[in-house]
Amino acid sequence: MEFLPLFHKLENKICLVVGGGVIASRRAHILLQAGADVTVISPEIDDNLASSVEDSKLKWIRSTFDVDALDHLLDRIFLVVAATDNDSVNHAVAQFAEDHNIPVNVASDASRGDVIFPSIIDRSPVIAAVASGSKSPVISRLLRGTLEAALPAHIGKLTDIAGEFRAKVKEKISDSNRRRAFWERFFQGPAGAAALANDAQTSREMLVDALEGFDPDVHPGEVYLIGAGPGDPDLLTLKALRLIQQADVVFYDRLVSQPILDMCRRDAKLVNVGKARSDHTVPQDQINQLLVEYAQKGHRVLRLKGGDPFIFGRGGEELEELAASGVPFQIVPGITAASGCAAYSGIPLTHRDYSQSVRFITGHLKNDTCDLPWHEYAHENQTLVFYMGLVGLPIICKQLIAHGMRSDMPMALVQKGTTPDQKVLLGTLETMPELVQSNEIKPPTLIIIGEVVRLHDQLAWYRAD
């Protein structure tokens, strides 16, 4: 992190702007909006700065940059901005600031200064800022536009109401997790919606009612069963992202990528309950019980699974335990590995010319065998997708050929699909076992079998590198 974002209170602090052009004017007016006392040094100033001088909003020293002329301000300058069109003058200003331990922004050369000006979204008291380290102002402006569209116009009013009631809520609800949950329900419920609709009075009344009705003896815990998708964090649903950021405790599988885990709250408790073949970090029965126990203690529990929780994810088993224990839960489906890996490999699972059906098959059963109804799979016009089939791949190929499928049937093996480490191995039922051995493929992998695999060369679009 090249720059640490900080928010400074500039009210009545002296900020010096050297320069009188467009950039200097922009910097000066941002500082004025923050309540700073702005002094501009420049032989000439543009019309915007001149109008501010006339309104007595800023002071103008009509001269070139002169260190001696600043003696009366030296001990009180909080920030210096070098914004002339002369690099040598800007560097002299930067040196002056450095000599006197004053933070400086050099508009034409961010590396020469200590401070940069971000793109700002002002919904006071909510302030959002985006910066690209001065490497790409266009990216900063694009991101600012995205944030402006996402931040409601009256979110500042909602924040003011929360500030008014903060002490009362803390007094009423001592537990920090339950207090956070209370505020999130307020922000995302009807009371928050009223404030965002500029109806502050209704919002306050609803907040008072919610606080009076709060029962400290009731612990409304809940479990969120969420599919994290095949790896790419951009494939999360909006609802999944919202619940991920609300959870107090997170139980996650080994297939959940680190960028998705990074989206969890920093103070959330993260527990790895991942399972690999013959290596279960936490047994399934114990996972089920942990979900119940944490929810019954009042926590918002996130069960985060790779892919979709209802497709070879044991989500049904976990929900049976929750339902039997009376624990409320929500389910957020995810993009299953078959859909995600096939799409990122340019392999359509169905195609009018090649495949009119698709079957999702587990590569090993509960007793670690690969005893499957092979005669049902040996058809030309369907796509087979095997989950967890890397270890049993030689058996899969052998059995499909033995039950009538052509030995030259196209086959793809996708390793770490949708991630920057994605690798696609192409072959046939006959050649794939040897290809896997020679390429040292490791899980997680997905196997796709069918004529649709031929479309990979034409439709592949994702370049992992």
d(Cα 294, Cα 221) in Å, to the nearest integer? 8
Q: Are 115 and 2 in contact (CB under 8 A)?
A: no
Residue 336 annotated as lining a ligand binding site: yes
Residue 189 annotated as lining a ligand binding site: no
Residue 308 annotated as lining a ligand binding site: yes
Among residues 253, 269, 305, 398, the one annotated as catalytic is 253
Residue 411 annotated as lining a ligand binding site: no
Among residues 13, 59, 269, 275, the one annotated as catalytic is 275
Task: Kindly report whether the peptide bond that precedes residue 444 is cis, defined as omega within 30 degrees of 0.
Answer: yes
Q: Is 253 a catalytic residue?
A: yes
Q: Are 74 and 100 in contact (CB under 8 A)?
A: yes
Which amino acid belongs to residue 399? Q
Q: Between the CA of residue 2 and those of 128, 172, 238, 266, 423, what are the distances in Å?
A: 18, 42, 30, 21, 33
> How is residue 116 written in tokens?
């940069």
User: Residue 84: phi, psi to the nearest 5?
Assistant: -90, 175
Name which of 243, 220, 244 is nearest 296 in CA terms: 220
Residue 43 annotated as lining a ligand binding site: yes
Sign of CA dihedral 220, 221, 226, 228: positive
- Quick one: how far is CA 228 from the chain centroid? 12
Q: Map tokens 């899969």 to a residue.
A: 396
Q: Is 414 helix (H, G, I), strand (E, B) or coil?
A: strand
> How is residue 55 written in tokens?
């309104």
Residue 448 annotated as lining a ligand binding site: no
> How is residue 351 written in tokens?
């195609």
Residue 388 annotated as lining a ligand binding site: yes
d(Cα 415, Cα 23) in Å, to the nearest integer? 50
Q: Between the CA of residue 198 and those of 94, 98, 142, 160, 187, what are the distances in Å?
A: 45, 46, 27, 12, 14
Q: Map tokens 């203690």 to a residue.
A: 297
Q: Is 175 a catalytic residue?
A: no
Binding-site members for NAD(+) are: 22-23, 43-44
Binding-site members for S-adenosyl-L-methionine are: 230, 306-308, 311, 336-337, 388, 417
Binding-site members are: 22-23, 43-44, 230, 306-308, 311, 336-337, 388, 417
Provide the annotated active-site residues: 253, 275
